[in-house]
Amino acid sequence: MTVSSDDELEGLRRIGRIVAEALEAMGRAIGPGMTTFELDTIGRDFLERAGARPAPEMVYGFPGATCISVNEEVAHGIPGERRIAPGDLVNIDVSAEKDGWFSDTGASFAVPPVTRAVERLCRDGRRAMWTGLRQVGAGKPLSGIGRAVGAFAKKNGYTLVRNLASHGVGASLHEEPTEIATWPDASERRIMAEGLVFTVEPFLSLGADFAENDGDDPWTLYSRPRALTVQYEHTVVATRNGPLVLTMPGQ
């Protein structure tokens, strides 16, 4: 969507803050021994107390309020009886709706003890996301996001999962512009209009370049080749002054 009024922007800010604070609460709660279902329940309870509805469940019938992916799982992991263990890498993706507005955010969390490689991967996953966000602005090419993230990944010795893209969001969970690459894409010709709302969510990896479903369930995606992968995601508005990030807690 393209923001056209202060009321629309305020609605987007409200749901952006809610999903950001739900993600923050879940991140604080992660600990060895808890199940991913228990972690998901924390997110569900937070969203419901804020008057928001979990978007994956509402829109797609996903079997959980949030997506929780552990280690070899890259995205769309189903909350369940899997117990989080020391050393696990846990990705949480939170999206929700309130008053007709949608927002989407995510982050990866390493459960201590953390190896130096995983600590660096998480740090650089955040840096990759912000590298992309700095390319956001009215009148700028969408391709600038993927070029910048791709250069960052190459310089620092990482790969990027190239079949999980950023997307438009706001009036619905997934909308135009679709398939916004967070890797270099020579075919991308679109320009960011002022007020355009979308996500920036690179998947930075220690070797994977693809995500696939192995057939055990219709949702969970795994890295190919198998390699630890992190995702960090914000919902953003393109403005004449650059990116306006909507999914920051407390804003």
Output the CA torsion sign for 231, 237, 243, 246.
Answer: negative
For 87-146, the DSSP string reads T-EEEEEEEEEETTEEEEEEEEEEPSS--HHHHHHHHHHHHHHHHHHTT--TT-BTHHHH
d(CA 63, CA 89): 21
Which pLDDT band, with edges at 50, 70 and 90, does 250 fall under?
confident
pTM confidence score: 0.97
Chain segment 159-180, per-residue pLDDT in tens: 999 999 999 999 999 999 999 9
Q: What would the two tokens of residue 14 be? A: 């409200």
pLDDT at residue 46 above 70? Answer: yes
Q: Are 70 and 82 in contact (CB under 8 A)?
A: yes
Give the mean pLDDT of the chain: 97
211 three-class SS: strand
Yes or no: say if 52 and 15 are a contact pair by the CB < 8 Å rule. yes
150-164: b (≥16 Cβ within 10 Å) or e: bebbeeeebbbbbeb
Q: Cα separation of 38 and 40, whole Å? A: 5
Q: How confident is the model at residue 251 (pLDDT cuts 50, 70, 90)?
A: low
Other Cβ atoms closer than 10 A to 104: 27
Gap between the Cα atoms of 144 and 4, Å rounded:
24
For residue 189, is pLDDT > 90? yes
Does residue 121 carry a pLDDT above 70? yes
**DSSP letter (8 states) at residue 64:** S
Query: pLDDT band at residue 12, thresholds of 50, 70 and 90?
Result: very high
CA angle 161, 164, 168 (to 5 degrees): 140
Is the per-residue pLDDT at 224 higher than 70? yes
Beta strands 89-98 and 53-54 are antiparallel
Confidence band for 216, pLDDT divided at 50, 70 and 90: confident
Mean pLDDT of 178-188: 97
